[in-house]
Amino acid sequence: MKFSGTTLALVATASAASFGLTEGLLTGGRLSQVNNGRVGVNVHAGRFSKQGHGYSAANGGEPKSGSQLHMAYTVGIVGATGAVGKEIRSCLEDRDKVPVDKLRIFGSSRSAGSEVETKYGKVEVELFDVAAARECDVVFLAVSGDFALEHAQAIAAEGGAVVIDNSSAFRYKPEIPLVVPEINGEETKKSKLIANPNCTTAIGLMALWPLVKKFGLKRCIMSTYQAASGAGQPGMDELLEGTAAYLDGKSPNNDVFAHPLPFNVIPQIDKFQDNLYTKEEMKVTWETRKICGLSDDVPISCSAVRIPTIRAHSEVIVIETEKPVDLDEARESLEDAPGVKLVDNPSELQYPMPLTATGKYDVEVGRLRKSIAFGDHGLEFFVSGDQLLRGAALNAVLVAEEMVANGAL
Catalytic center residues: 199, 313
Among residues 66, 72, 61, the alpha carbon closest in space to that of 27 is found at 72
**CA 222 to centroid of chain Cα atoms:** 21
Alpha carbon distance, N-terminus to C-terminus of the chain: 15
The answer to whether the Cα torsion of 107, 110, 113, 114 is positive or negative is negative
Q: What amino acid is encoded at 257 in this protein? A: F
Among residues 215, 164, 226, the alpha carbon closest in space to that of 383 is found at 226
Asked whether the beta carbons of 314 and 366 are under 8 A apart, the reply is no
CA distance 364 to 329: 17
Q: At what angle do helices 327-336 and 199-215 cross, to 10 degrees?
A: 130
**CA angle (66, 72, 73) in 5-degree steps:** 150
The torsion angles phi and psi of 157, rounded to 5 degrees, stand at -60, 165
CA distance 142 to 157: 19
CA distance 199 to 302: 14
Strand partners, 225: 305, 314
Among residues 183, 181, 178, 182, the alpha carbon closest in space to that of 194 is found at 178
Could you write out the three-class secondary structure of 97-149? CCCEEEEEEEECCCCCCCEEEECCEEEEEEECCHHHHHCCCEEEECCCHHHHH
Residue 252, C-beta contacts closer than 8 angstroms, at least 6 positions apart? 238, 241, 242, 243, 245, 246, 260, 261, 262
CA distance 213 to 332: 13
